[in-house]
Structure 1
Amino acid sequence: MDASPSRRSASRRSPSRPAFRQPRRPALRQPRGRVRRLLPSLAAGACALALAAGCSGATPAAAPAPEASASGTAQGSATRATNDLERAYQAVINDVLPSVVQIDASDSLGSGVVYDDKGHIVTNAHVVGDEKKFKVSVATGEAVLNASLVSSYPEQDLAVIKLDEVPDALKPAKFGDADDVEVGQIVMAMGSPLGLSSSVTQGIVSALGRTVSETRAGGGTGATIANMVQTSAAINPGNSGGALVDLDSRVIGIPTLAATDPQMGDSAAPGIGFAIPVSMVRTVADQIIKDGRVTDSGRAALNITGRTVVDDSYRPAGVALVSVERGGAAAGAGLRAGDIVTKIGDTPVTTITSLSEALAGDKPGQKVTVTYTRDGDSRTAEVTLGEI
């Protein structure tokens, strides 16, 4: 199945919200308890019959079968493990949910995470869009708060907004370490999917180091983001900008994308979601809070404007350089407008998206070999990468 990631942006609010009820947990019953209680009396009856028949002595009652004892022990262990995991979930929810907010950006809803005690909230750039003012609702139930945009960084799909007035009960989230995240780790996604505030889903870390590109709502390609955390926790419209957390109550990522399946009419591909890693979240948020903008993206670039070109069979065949920034990476290596880039290192380049993905894992200052065509001739150039 060919699944391509697409933006799961803020969701529109529904006029009414469904009610949910906690299902009652069925009582657990020891299946062999009654058998064990009856064994002594049955044994005593057997002894009485034996004595009446002239037996010189009575045989003691047999112990419960080993299988029964082992089964009861295993069942008890499983029940305790289930209860322990349930309590761990509840502890994380109680700890983290007060730090997850709902962001009302004009006619849409998204999520955010309280970053510090100064009222800064980190969210997705596509949640804030072009808005400058927002209404923020926190899980602890205070009145709706006003917030303003500090800065947005669409290249990494991150933004920071700040509360105009900071309530005393505001609780910043704890942010983890990207190096501690492992495949198979249990995680929970918290946010406001479909406008249902303070919702929680659970899953595992399915993969690390994914490079994915957003699809804009009106078509085209949005941000290309490297080192994404893939998760099976459900990511739905409105979850964007919320928190992906581990069982130590630490934020390890900001949910931003869910995969869609082109074969199913671009409907959601269940169990395939992506979150921006906490290391990038911290890098971007800290710079925005300190300087009001991102001053050091850490993202490599050719410093060009390009477009996808097709071959004689109308298949994508490379990226034509529409313009080359003066003093930029490509210009410094002798590339010029009209050249068609076909490869970065050993990675083929067929579209503007594949070019972004080929550069996503590289760093500014790194040297790469760029293969390109000029006037029908294939050439190569060593390029010292610039910065976005």
Structure 2
Amino acid sequence: MKSTLKKLLPFAVVGVISGATTVGAIQYLGHNSNNGDQSYFTTSAPNTSFAGMNTGAVGDDFVKAAKTTVPAVVTIKNYQSRTASRASEQDLFDFFFGDPFGGRGQGQQRQKQQQAPDNMPSGMGSGVIISPDGYIISNNHVVAGANKLEVVLSNKKSYIATLVGTDPNTDISLLKIEEKGLPYLNFANSDNIDVGQWVLAVGNPLGLNSTVTAGIVSAKGRGIGILGGQGKATNPIESFIQTDAAINPGNSGGALVNTNGELIGINSAIQSTTGYYQGYGFAVPSNLARKIVEDIKKFGIVQRGFLGVQSLDLSNDQLVTSYNKQFKTSLKVGSGIYITGFGDNSGAEDAGLKKGDIITKVDNYDITDFADLSMSIGSKRPGDKVQVTYSRNGKDGTATVTLRDQKGGTSTRTKADLSVTEKIGAEFDPLTERFKTEYGLNSGVVAKSVSEGSEMAKIGIVDNYIIIEVNGKPVNSQKDVEKILDKYQGNVQVKFVDDYGRIYTKGFKMP
């Protein structure tokens, strides 16, 4: 993960970075704690054609859109425990500057991080009210690691929010405040936006509440490798709307709207060598964001369908060159997704697709690169059927594929259907007996694949921490953890060792 982040470094910066450095930014800018910012995402460009517009018409459209949007955009303050804050700040430091210790000095570096006081948020970002009864959409990275979330409306009224659910794979989160009759934004069809169209970005950058910036849609379907690069998303979906509207820390989770004041995207990232606006911003398309929040509201979890293919993006010349060299092939750089293999219980393989086929279209969606495939499939659920157009030996064919989940199922699931490890957001590897002997441990498992925002992450556990006991019982395998927590309801106590060798016992309520 470190090498991936260093390659991305000076190009893509995720908004959460600005969140964890909010305290310093506030001091530098002279803002108080109510004017902070945790995101880094904004863009602007509306639903009107860029060409042929007179200046007066554009100005009038912007005023109307701004009046509609500003009251529905909120500030989100993220309060974290000291342990969780310390872990996230180390990740953010590495993301900005790289690990100067080559992965060996994490402990030393963490000791240098300053903690926000208990009454100060660890970071701040933006959110968008999407219903009059208090549902708010934002970014996953804006709310990650929080043990308390405060929402402040544009009229300065404050609420403590409930985190309904998150999805690191799309960087989307859903919150709820208890209120009625709130101003809100309607979702627009993001498939209908055009490059060159005007948009507005509304958020709370650099402590400047209710800021509106304008720009155009610079591109669609951008994949910048930032979600997977952070190591938090297991199956990232990146098909961003790119805009040139000014975006700075605090905009993350804010609204990207057309000139009608309709939501076409959730501002999520920038591309910059400095960490501040340099002309490139990225937003999660509204169609994808809406699907995610609908899943969370209806099922409690995101429903994700998969084709079940292993693939190569033919538009990426470096990947194609590397693949040709490794496998002695002569694939040509172009467009489409080349199938290199299939996963277990693959719906695509069952539908007749073969290794070597090139996917060119899903339903009516042209597939030129992996971002296109990610978007077209990622917006579907298990059990959905898609029409896949492919090229095989120069001839086109079609196949109807029934999408499946990662376990091969074709039905939607709720939280009650999740495994123990899915519910608490981590998996576990056993410790070797030699390790136990050397370090004087009688039991223990190593945490791995700890999901951002999960119950384990909230109590400060990250990958490679050692879990000694769960609810007072020693654990030596993932099966031990599952047995203790299977069908368990109530408070869970976890005894674990951090990377300094310090032992903690912390708890959470079983989901």
**Shorter-normalised TM-score: what interval?**
0.5 to 0.7
* Normalised TM-score (structure 2): 0.48
In structure 2, do the counterparts of structure 1 residues 124 and 113 end up closer, same or farther at CA, with 3 Å as the change threshold?
A: same
Q: Which moved more, 1:109-118 or 1:215-224?
A: 215-224
* Higher fraction of strand: 1
1:127 aligned partner, one-letter code: V
Instruction: Quote the residue 2:373 is aligned against.
Output: 359
Unpaired segments ≥5 residues, structure 2: 1-7, 32-53, 80-121, 313-318, 330-337, 362-367, 378-384, 393-398, 406-511
Cα distance per residue 1:258-280 (max 9 Å; x no partner): 124xxx5x756722212112222
Instruction: Quote the residue 1:108 is aligned against.
Output: 123
Query: 1:334, CA displacement in angstroms?
Result: 11
Between the aligned partners of 2:66 and 2:144, the Cα distance in structure 1 is 28
Cα distance per residue 1:150-195 (max 9 Å; x no partner): 11122222111111x21x5621113223244222222110112233
In structure 2, do the counterparts of structure 1 residues 169 and 286 end up closer, same or farther at CA, with 3 Å as the change threshold?
A: same
Contact 1:100-1:198 within 8 A present in 2 as well = yes
Between the aligned partners of 2:221 and 2:311, the Cα distance in structure 1 is 26
Residue aligned with 1:290, SS: helix
Written as runs of structure 1 = structure 2, the 5 A alignment for 1:94-243 is 94-106=67-79, 107-131=122-146, 133-142=148-157, 144-163=158-177, 165-166=178-179, 168=180, 170-215=182-227, 223-226=236-239, 228-243=240-255
1:276 matched to 2:284? The reply is: yes
Written as runs of structure 1 = structure 2, the 5 A alignment for 1:1-388 is 5-9=12-16, 11=19, 12-13=21-22, 14-16=25-27, 17=29, 82=55, 85-106=58-79, 107-131=122-146, 133-142=148-157, 144-163=158-177, 165-166=178-179, 168=180, 170-215=182-227, 223-226=236-239, 228-260=240-272, 264=273, 270-295=278-303, 297=304, 299-302=305-308, 324-325=343-344, 327-329=345-347, 345=359, 357=371, 359-363=373-377, 365-367=386-388, 384=401, 386-387=403-404
Between the aligned partners of 2:76 and 2:290, the Cα distance in structure 1 is 20
In structure 2, do the counterparts of structure 1 residues 383 and 126 end up closer, same or farther at CA, with 3 Å as the change threshold?
A: farther
Residue aligned with 1:174, SS: coil
2:77 aligned partner, one-letter code: D
Query: 1:329, CA displacement in angstroms?
Result: 4.0
Between the aligned partners of 1:358 and 1:250, the Cα distance in structure 2 is 23
Contact 1:365-1:385 within 8 A present in 2 as well = yes
Residue aligned with 1:155, SS: coil
In structure 2, do the counterparts of structure 1 residues 214 and 345 end up closer, same or farther at CA, with 3 Å as the change threshold?
A: same
Contact 1:234-1:273 within 8 A present in 2 as well = yes
Structural RMSD (CA): 4.3
In structure 2, do the counterparts of structure 1 residues 161 and 370 end up closer, same or farther at CA, with 3 Å as the change threshold?
A: farther
Cα distance per residue 1:305-344 (max 9 Å; x no partner): 99x9x789899x99998x944x244785999xxxxx9985
Query: 1:135, CA displacement in angstroms?
Result: 0.6
Between the two proteins, the alignment pairs up a number of residues equal to: 294
Query: 1:98, CA displacement in angstroms?
Result: 0.8
Matched-pair identity in %: 29
Query: 1:94, CA displacement in angstroms?
Result: 2.2
Contact 2:270-2:280 within 8 A present in 1 as well = yes
Residue aligned with 1:15, SS: helix
Between the aligned partners of 2:55 and 2:400, the Cα distance in structure 1 is 55
Cα distance per residue 1:263-309 (max 9 Å; x no partner): x5x756722212112222222222222222223x4x54427799x9x
Contact 1:99-1:114 within 8 A present in 2 as well = yes
In structure 2, do the counterparts of structure 1 residues 220 and 179 end up closer, same or farther at CA, with 3 Å as the change threshold?
A: closer
Between the aligned partners of 2:326 and 2:30, the Cα distance in structure 1 is 48
